[in-house]
């Protein structure tokens, strides 16, 4: 048999990844893990609110001067913001494209609905949408203050207490943090499979880590509004 | 046993389908599910009606021809093929719903028969070893370490039935494709085409219109041959490795 001679250029690594379902999922896994890493740091930072306004506001100020004198004021902050923005865009775009494809690939429904996958697995899409909407609200509320009446730039402690003194501030936040916990519970384990590091031997450890991360992040984030509601932080 | 069957009837690929209800009497609990359908079909033929079309061949669980979603489960309630599913898994008086595999890449041909040639095209895209044919080579000429041989065999068990696609909420063919990629990729004979195989097969899988993997795990639960979910994990790694090497 005669084989045809290859003349075309080989597609690049990035093109091969983005052009396939398996590769796009890899983009999702990596961007998800970047956001996850950020959220762990963010959650720990938030806990400083329990040490009072001075310490929390000082910490918020420090975020603007990290890396000085090598970095100019806010350079580090903007670097983190750019990476996170890229991660969110990559994650949401691949989620959207893959989900559309998945829905199209399975047009008919069976008469019986007996999903054997977990609740966290089945709520990834809705959970993701909730997280996306929350993200927009959260930035407008506590970063820019656009939707926050009485927002005081440079006074994050007061702004946080202010937000969690409204019922809707608490509801939005609590719903989003529950969605986050579920998203991470399936997402972390799933990303391990996507990146090819899961195995029978490691499955227990990966599932336990996923559950622990989900629980610690949810409890950590939720502790702030609960503290404001109960008057521990005011 | 006396049963009520609700069966998907569809004249041809273009026609609208619907569930039709039939009563079947005189079913023995030792019959296979397909023999029970044969019983129904004999009655239908005697009545001058069109028998229910369904796929089958070996009837011993090794060819992968039989299909059917029974009460919402691919190959029914037991972890086996429909031909090896026996009526003792059901109760007298049961109502049983029988539907075809449902996936955009597996269009219905007639009644319960779907076109699974998308799987053949995935195999054609790399699910083989390029080697001169002829007499069988001496078995000990190429040593294979025992763990690799076991791993290959575990994946070689895939019979290409498509239950994984039918069970997947995204109509994805990842479990099937990964079984083939891993079966051949781990063996020395398959090593020279390790990269082009996974790239070719995944590309074809996408072109056929199968969905992507969300790690729901329904495929591995439905698979009559116990192909593990981690087979997909391994293929993901193989794919990225091959994409990086660019061939
Ligand atoms: C913009 C908002 C978000 C949307 C629309 C979104 C959507 C999705 C969707 C649809 C999936 C696939 C689910 C599946 O495979 O069944 C997913 C997976 C994932 N998400 Fe998100 N998500 C968002 C935010 C986040 C955040 C903030 C994190 C960080 C913790 C995250 C981490 C992950 C991880 C680790 C995965 C697993 C990737 C994989 O399976 O390989 N996501 N997301
Ligand atoms: S992986 Fe299992 S369910 Fe899928 S085609 Fe092979 S044998 Fe059938
Ligand atoms: S008919 Fe061959 S596996 Fe069922």
Q: Of all residues in chain B, what percent carry a pLDDT higher than 90?
A: 94
Q: How far does A93 lie from chain B, in Å, by closest CA?
A: 15
| Domain extents in chain B | 3-110, 116-131+140-245
Contact B90, B82 (CB under 8 A): no
Q: Does the N-terminal peptide bond of residue A69 adopt cis geometry, omega within 30 degrees of 0?
A: yes
Query: What is the per-residue pLDDT across A103-144, written as a single tens digit (0 to 9) for each?
Result: 999 988 899 877 778 888 889 999 999 999 999 999 999 999
- Supply the mean pLDDT for chain A: 92
A149 belongs to a structural domain: yes
Residue nearest to atom 1 of ligand 1 (CA): A132
- β-bridge mates for residue B113, sequence order: B110
Higher pLDDT, A6 or B144: B144
In 3D space, the residue among B228, B227, B203 whose CA is nearest the CA of residue A193 turns out to be B228
To the question of domain B3-110 being in CATH 3.10.20.30, the answer is yes
pLDDT of residue B152: 97
Residue A14 in any domain: the answer is: no
Task: Give B5→chain A minimum CA distance, Å.
Answer: 13
Q: What confidence score (pLDDT) does residue A120 get?
A: 87
Integer distance in angstroms from the first to the last C-alpha of chain B? 58
Residue with tokens 């992968």: B64
Q: Are B126 and B193 in contact (CB under 8 A)?
A: yes
Predicted confidence (pLDDT) at residue B199 exceeds the cutoff of 60: yes
Residue where the block lists tokens 């959970």: A127
Which helix (H) or strand (E) segment is A229 a member of?
Answer: helix A203-229
Q: Is residue A197 part of a domain?
A: yes
Q: Which residue, among B124, B233, B217, has the nearest Cα to B178 in the 3D structure?
A: B233
Return left, alpha or beta for B226; rule: phi > 0 is left, psi -120 to 50 is alpha, else beta: left
Core vs surface per residue A62-87: b (16+ CB within 10 A) or e: eeeeeeeeeeeeeebeeeeeeebeeb
Residue B36 has pLDDT above 70, yes or no: yes
Structural domain harbouring A73: 25-102+121-229
User: What DSSP string runs through B124-152?
Assistant: HTT-S-----SSPPPTTSS---HHHHHHH
Residue A47 lies in a domain: yes
ipTM: 0.91
Q: How far is the CA of B56 from the centre of ligand 3 (A)?
A: 6
Classify residue A9: in a domain, yes or no.
no
Pocket test of ligand 3: the residue of B38, B63, B80 to mutate, having most ligand atoms within 8 Å of its CB, is: B63
**Protein fold of B116-131+140-245:** Fumarate Reductase Iron-sulfur Protein; Chain B, domain 2 (1.10.1060)
pLDDT at A39: 97
A28 CA to centre of ligand 1 in angstroms: 7
Ligand 1 pocket member A98 (CB < 6 A): no
Instruction: Examine residue A5 and state whether it is found in any structural domain, yes or no.
Output: no
- How, if at all, do strands B73-74 and B69-70 pair? antiparallel
For position B134, what pLDDT does the model report?
Answer: 83
Task: Give the predicted TM-score (pTM) of the model.
Answer: 0.93
Contact B240 A26 (CB under 8 A): yes
Note whether residue A181 is domain-resident: yes
Q: What is the mean pLDDT of chain B?
A: 95
**Minimal CA separation from B211 to chain A, in Å:** 4
Q: Which of B38, B55, B56 to mutate to test the pocket of ligand 3 (most atoms within 8 A of CB)?
A: B56
Helices B117-124, B194-207: crossing angle, 10 deg rounding: 150
Instruction: For residue A13, tell me if it sits in a domain.
Output: no
- Closest residue (by CA) to atom 1 of ligand 2? B176
Distance, CA of B231 to CA of A198 (rounded, Å):
10
If one counts the domains in chain A, the total is 1
Q: Which atom of ligand 2 lies nearest, measured to the CA of B163? A: 3
pLDDT at residue number A116 = 77
End-to-end C-alpha distance for chain A, whole angstroms: 80
């Amino acid at each position: 048999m005669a084989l045809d001679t290859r003349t075309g250029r080989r597609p690049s690594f990035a093109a091969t990844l983005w052009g396939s379902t398996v590769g796009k999922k890899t983009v999702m896994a990596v961007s998800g893990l970047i956001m996850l890493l950020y959220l762990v740091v963010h959650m720990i930072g938030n806990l400083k609110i329990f040490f009072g306004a001075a310490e929390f506001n000082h910490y918020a100020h420090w975020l603007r001067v990290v890396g000085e004198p090598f970095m100019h004021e806010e350079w580090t902050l903007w670097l983190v913001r750019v990476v996170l923005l890229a991660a969110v865009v990559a994650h949401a775009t691949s989620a959207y494209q893959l989900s559309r494809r998945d829905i199209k690939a399975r047009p008919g429904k069976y008469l019986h609905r007996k999903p054997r996958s977990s609740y966290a697995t089945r709520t990834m899409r809705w959970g993701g949408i909730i997280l996306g909407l929350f993200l927009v609200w959260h930035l407008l509320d506590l970063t820019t203050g656009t939707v926050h009446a009485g927002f005081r730039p440079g006074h994050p402690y007061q702004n946080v207490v202010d937000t969690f003194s409204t019922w809707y501030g608490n509801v939005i936040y609590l719903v989003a943090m529950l969605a986050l916990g579920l998203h991470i519970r399936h997402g972390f384990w799933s990303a391990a499979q996507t990146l090819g590091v899961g195995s029978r031997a490691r499955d227990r450890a990966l599932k336990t880590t996923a559950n622990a991360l989900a629980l610690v992040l949810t409890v950590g984030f939720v502790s702030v509004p609960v503290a404001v509601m109960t008057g521990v932080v005011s | 046993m006396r049963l009520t069957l609700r069966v998907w009837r569809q004249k041809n690929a273009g026609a609208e389908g619907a569930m039709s209800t039939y009563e079947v009497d005189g079913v023995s609990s030792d019959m296979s599910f397909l023999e029970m359908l044969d019983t129904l079909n004999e009655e239908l033929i005697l009545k001058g009606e069109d028998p229910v079309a369904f796929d089958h061949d070996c009837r011993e669980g090794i060819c992968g021809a039989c299909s059917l979603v029974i009460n919402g489960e691919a190959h029914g309630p037991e972890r086996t093929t429909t031909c090896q599913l026996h009526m003792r898994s059901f109760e007298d008086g049961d109502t049983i719903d029988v539907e075809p595999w449902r996936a955009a890449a597996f269009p219905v041909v007639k009644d319960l028969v779907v076109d699974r040639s998308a799987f053949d095209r995935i195999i054609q895209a790399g699910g083989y070893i390029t080697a001169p044919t002829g007499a069988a080579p001496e078995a000990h000429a190429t040593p294979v370490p025992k763990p690799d041989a076991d791993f290959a065999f575990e994946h070689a068990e895939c019979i290409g039935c498509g239950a994984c696609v039918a069970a997947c909420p995204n109509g994805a063919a990842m479990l099937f494709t990964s079984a083939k990629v891993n079966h051949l990729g781990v063996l020395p004979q398959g090593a020279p085409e390790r990269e082009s195989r996974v790239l070719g097969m995944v590309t074809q899988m996408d072109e056929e219109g199968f969905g992507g993997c969300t790690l729901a795990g329904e495929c591995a639960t439905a698979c009559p041959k116990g192909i593990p979910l981690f087979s997909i994990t391994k293929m993901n790694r193989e794919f990225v490795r091959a994409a990086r090497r660019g061939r």
